[in-house]
A and B are shown apart, each in its own frame.
Chain A
Amino acid sequence: MSQDKASAILTAIGGADNVVEIEPCITRLRCEVRDAALIDEPALRALGVHGVLRAGGAVQIVVGPDADTIASDIEDLL
Chain B
Amino acid sequence: MTLQVAAPLAGEVVPLSAVPDPVFAGAMVGPGVAIEPHPESTEVRAPIGGTVATLHPHAFVIAGDDGLGVLVHLGIDTVKLRGEGFTLRVVKGEKVRAGQPIVEWEPDAVREAGYSSTCPVIALDATAEDLSDLVVPRTVESGAALFTWNR
Determine if A27 and B23 form an interchain contact, defined as CB atoms under 8 angstroms apart. Answer: yes
Bitwise, B47-63 to A at CB < 8 A (1) or not (0) is 00000011010011100
**Given contacts A25-B79, A26-B71, A50-B28, is CB(A65)–CB(B23) below 8 Å?**
no
CB of B21 to closest CB in A, whole Å: 9
Bitwise, A39-70 to B at CB < 8 A (1) or not (0) is 00000000000110100000010101100100
Determine the residue in chain B with the shortest Cβ distance to A23: B79
A-B contact number at CB 8 A: 43
Bitwise, B122-151 to A at CB < 8 A (1) or not (0) is 001100000000000000000000000000
Residues of A within 8 A of B124 (CB): 27, 64-65
Determine if A51 and B69 form an interchain contact, defined as CB atoms under 8 angstroms apart. Answer: no
**Given contacts A30-B79, A65-B69, is CB(A25)–CB(B22) below 8 Å?**
no
CB of A46 to closest CB in B, whole Å: 16
Determine if A51 and B23 form an interchain contact, defined as CB atoms under 8 angstroms apart. Answer: yes
Residues of A within 8 A of B28 (CB): 27, 50-51, 62
Interface status of B26 (Cβ within 8 A of chain A): yes
Determine the residue in chain A with the shortest Cβ distance to B77: A25
For B, the interface residue count at a CB cutoff of 8 angstroms equals 17
CB of B50 to closest CB in A, whole Å: 13
Q: Complex formed: what's the CA distance from A68 to B71 in Å?
A: 14
Determine if A60 and B125 form an interchain contact, defined as CB atoms under 8 angstroms apart. Answer: no
Residues of A in contact with B (beta carbons under 8 Å apart): 23, 25-28, 30, 50-51, 53, 60, 62, 64-65, 68
* A-contacting residues, B21-67, CB 8 Å: 22-23, 26, 28-29, 53-54, 56, 59-61
Interface centre among A25, A28, A64 (most CB of B within 10 A): A25
Q: Complex formed: what's the CA distance from A68 to B60 in Å?
A: 11
Nearest 7 pairs of A and B residues by beta carbon: A50-B28, A25-B79, A27-B29, A26-B59, A51-B28, A62-B28, A62-B23
**Given contacts A23-B79, A53-B22, is CB(A65)–CB(B29) below 8 Å?**
yes
